[in-house]
Amino acid sequence: MFCVIMAGGSGTRFWPASLRRMPKQFLDITGRGPMVVETCQRVGTLSRDDELILVIAREHFEETGRLFAGRGVHILAEPVGRNTAACIGLGALYAKHLGCKGPIAFLPADHFIADRSAFLRAVDQAASLAESGGIVTLGIVPTRPETGYGYIRRAGEKVTVRGGHAYRVSAFAEKPDLEKARQYVAGGEYFWNAGIFVATAETILREMENLLPVLHQGLERLKKSIRTPSFEKEIEAVYPGLESVSFDYGIMERTTCASLVVPCECGWSDVGSWDSLHELKKTEHDTGGNFSEGDSLLIDCEGSHVSSRGGKLVACLGLKDCLVVDTPDALLVADLHRSQDIRKIIEELKRRKREKLL
Amino acid sequence: MFCVIMAGGSGTRFWPASLRRMPKQFLDITGRGPMVVETCQRVGTLSRDDELILVIAREHFEETGRLFAGRGVHILAEPVGRNTAACIGLGALYAKHLGCKGPIAFLPADHFIADRSAFLRAVDQAASLAESGGIVTLGIVPTRPETGYGYIRRAGEKVTVRGGHAYRVSAFAEKPDLEKARQYVAGGEYFWNAGIFVATAETILREMENLLPVLHQGLERLKKSIRTPSFEKEIEAVYPGLESVSFDYGIMERTTCASLVVPCECGWSDVGSWDSLHELKKTEHDTGGNFSEGDSLLIDCEGSHVSSRGGKLVACLGLKDCLVVDTPDALLVADLHRSQDIRKIIEELKRRKREKLL
């Protein structure tokens, strides 16, 4: 089975651990190695290396080469980011060129999954459903009224599939407010949208032709140069002109083909902020609810997250719900529960033209 | 007039900016240059360089030499610290040897004084009183019920002196609790004890002979070798055996000679903690009551103190009353109001044998 690993993002939410030149998917955020490598390992029993297609940003070509040296994975470099629809289209096109006729799994490279078996079971079920021409998405069974995720609402009718079941998708819902999120979780009809899709290349490209014709034309133009010396030049000419739209918005919310959701309970997290990483690391917390890594010393601290990656001691005294991230590039000290506001720092750094720190 | 600058301390309260190898008096804590240099400059109109006697710890000999290169100041290195009585005795002995017969000012090297003229006026008054054989101390007029300082209680009778007045000392009081401190300040009979004394060498040495005979014997033994090649060897033999006692406790609280206090309003601070430095820097605070120095960026912070001395950006987000000190050696993040508990970090570092960080 082919997998397209979507690793082209340039998130800043883990600044200063993640910088433009080294975004989250290339970092060992969760303690299991670089996330993109772990994502590939996760599907190791499903796909051979030559069935893995990594879509990355061109500026990370060298780092990716380093991480996957000696392996036969396919690496596609986007000259500019054009959101997930383009990334998925490119991956599908490439897999088709490689001779793939069956379902392909499209996986974000920077998510955490605790229960690998449960995840692989769901992907397997999704693949079996996708064979008949629909687009299947994994629906993460919610464990709390999270306001930071999008949701998928299922329809009533159940579809049985290899040792489990799936549902028709009724609707995609934006990030809700807390009250709505509570209703979603209580009602049992909603799943978290993890942005994980399974479909054949044929289905993907057909839907794109219908719903995103400009994108599809771009991909058509690219087709001839795949795996030839002119590909890099072609993609550089084509990519900037593609519409930048998410696969959810551009395809899933508008498609008339059968879209299905496979429920999945696999301990998933998008690891979207320091705050959520802190939650994820709960089993490693000390008695004060603190997480610390690297050369650090915590005295009378509570609920704090301390990452010492700058090569020197980080000593903390009397902190509460505090985030401390020391790297060779910069130091961040913040209210842990405001870690989503790191963008304010990024904006200010841009304003001050501190390019090296972005 | 001779001044003995007491710079032998090894305080850890400004860790990690101050380390054993570079304690507070050698740092530019207040923004006016190294404190020991500023202390010497402060008395520049009072004493020539060859009337300045610096008492330092031997391990700081090189740094002191660097700071006072080309100046004719006298530098006395203690092989081990033996508190202020020994330091003052040594300074008095040395000044006497240099031919000093008049009053000597004994000044801690690591204090801040905003109003230099008021300070010099008080020293001048103290000197005029000390000529007749008493020990005179400066009494800082308290501006708040500070619990971190010792106090001096004056007796009722006033002594007139060159354009001002002084009082007999009635008692020395230990650091009070808050209620007591309030009473002290409200009553008007108490001053802060700044550890600044003025007396002749003869008075000092006579009182030591009476009250600290072992110390006095040690000084007597040293006397012959002063300014000879054997001095270093002698002081190494003598110093460790001296009793380690403060001048306040060993002499001032027990002396029967006339001890006097000269009131002084000179914007004095012992700069005893990051917290008190933050107070001292009030005029440099931003609208959120934050102080920051070095490469730093504060967003939505309040009452915080950020010192970026590690050569990289320190970004702070949503902090309240937080202390952040980044240096090339270590990083400290703490509740600013618990900066006196830094000793807990020092203790833990000792336990972990992190000698280089002390």
- pLDDT tens by residue, A43-55: 999 999 999 999 9
Which residue of B297, B332, B338 is in closest CB contact with A315?
A: B332
User: Domain range spanning residue B320?
Assistant: 275-357
User: Are B236 and B200 contained in the same domain?
Assistant: yes
User: Are A207 and A341 contained in the same domain?
Assistant: no
What pLDDT score does A61 carry?
95
User: Are B55 and B70 contained in the same domain?
Assistant: yes
**Domain boundary residue, one of A272, A292, A308:** A272
User: Are A38 and A59 contained in the same domain?
Assistant: yes
User: Are A103 and A164 contained in the same domain?
Assistant: yes
- Reply yes or no on whether the pLDDT at B66 is more than 80: yes
Alpha carbons B270 and B110: distance in angstroms, whole number: 7
What pLDDT score does A331 carry?
98
Å from B209 to nearest chain A CA? 45
Q: Residue A174's domain is classified under what CATH number?
A: 3.90.550.10
Å from B22 to nearest chain A CA? 18
**Domain boundary residue, one of B219, B245, B272:** B272
What pLDDT score does B86 carry?
97
Interface of A to B at Cβ within 8 Å reads 16, 297, 299-300, 308, 310, 312-320, 322, 324, 326, 328-335, 338, 341-342, 344-345, 348-349, 352, 354, 357
Question: CA of A357: which chain B residue's CA is closest?
Answer: B313
User: Are A45 and A119 contained in the same domain?
Assistant: yes
Q: How far is CA B280 from CA B30, B196, B321, in A?
A: 8, 20, 15
User: Are A215 and A125 contained in the same domain?
Assistant: yes
As a whole-number percent, the residues of chain B with pLDDT over 90 amount to: 91
Which of B273, B275, B333 is the best residue to mutate to test the A interface, defined by the most A CB atoms within 10 Å of its own CB? B333
Q: Taking residues A100-109, what's their average pLDDT?
A: 97
Which residue of A313, A320, A333 is in closest CB contact with B324?
A: A333
What pLDDT score does B9 carry?
86
Confidence category of residue A175, pLDDT binned at 50, 70, 90: very high
- Reply yes or no on whether the pLDDT at A157 is more than 90: no
Contact: B319, A335; criterion CB under 8 Å: yes
Q: Convert the pLDDT of each residue in A252-265 to its tens digit.
A: 999 888 899 999 99
User: Are A247 and A112 contained in the same domain?
Assistant: yes
Domain count, chain B: 2
User: Are B182 and B267 contained in the same domain?
Assistant: yes
**Domain boundary residue, one of A217, A245, A272:** A272
Alpha carbons B140 and B261: distance in angstroms, whole number: 9
Question: CA of B343: which chain A residue's CA is closest?
Answer: A317
Confidence category of residue B333, pLDDT binned at 50, 70, 90: very high
Chain B residues within an 8 Å CB radius of A355: none
Question: What's the 3-state SS for chain A?
Answer: CEEEEEECCCCCCCCCCCECCECHHHCCCCCCCCHHHHHHHHCCCCCCHHHEEEEEEHHHHHHHHHHCCCCCCEEEEECCCCHHHHHHHHHHHHHHHCCCCCEEEEEECCCEECCHHHHHHHHHHHHHHHCCCCEEEEEECCCCCCCCCCEEEEEEEEEEECCEEEEEEEEEECCCCHHHHHHHHHHCCEEEEEEEEEEEHHHHHHHHHHHCHHHHHHHHHHHCCCCCCCHHHHHHHHHHHCCCCCHHHHHHCCCCCCEEEEEECCCEECCCCHHHHHHHCHHHCCCCCCEEECCEEEECCECCEEEECCCCEEEEECCECEEEEECCCEEEEEEHHHHHHHHHHHHHHHHCCCHHHC
Arithmetic mean of pLDDT over chain B: 95
Q: Taking residues B132-155, what's their average pLDDT?
A: 95
User: Are B59 and B103 contained in the same domain?
Assistant: yes
Contact: B328, A310; criterion CB under 8 Å: no
Confidence category of residue A162, pLDDT binned at 50, 70, 90: confident
User: Are A108 and A254 contained in the same domain?
Assistant: yes
- Reply yes or no on whether the pLDDT at A155 is more than 80: yes
Confidence category of residue A340, pLDDT binned at 50, 70, 90: confident
Å from A271 to nearest chain B CA? 20
User: Are A12 and A82 contained in the same domain?
Assistant: yes
Confidence category of residue B113, pLDDT binned at 50, 70, 90: very high
Which residue of A297, A344, A348 is in closest CB contact with B345?
A: A297
Q: Taking residues B45-67, what's their average pLDDT?
A: 96
- Reply yes or no on whether the pLDDT at B340 is more than 90: no
Confidence category of residue A14, pLDDT binned at 50, 70, 90: very high
Q: Taking residues A122-149, what's their average pLDDT?
A: 95
- Reply yes or no on whether the pLDDT at B149 is more than 90: yes
Chain B residues within an 8 Å CB radius of A320: 335
Complex confidence, ipTM: 0.87
The model carries a pTM of 0.87
Interface of B to A at Cβ within 8 Å reads 16, 297, 299-300, 308, 310, 312-320, 322, 324, 326, 328-335, 338, 341-342, 344-345, 348-349, 352, 354, 357
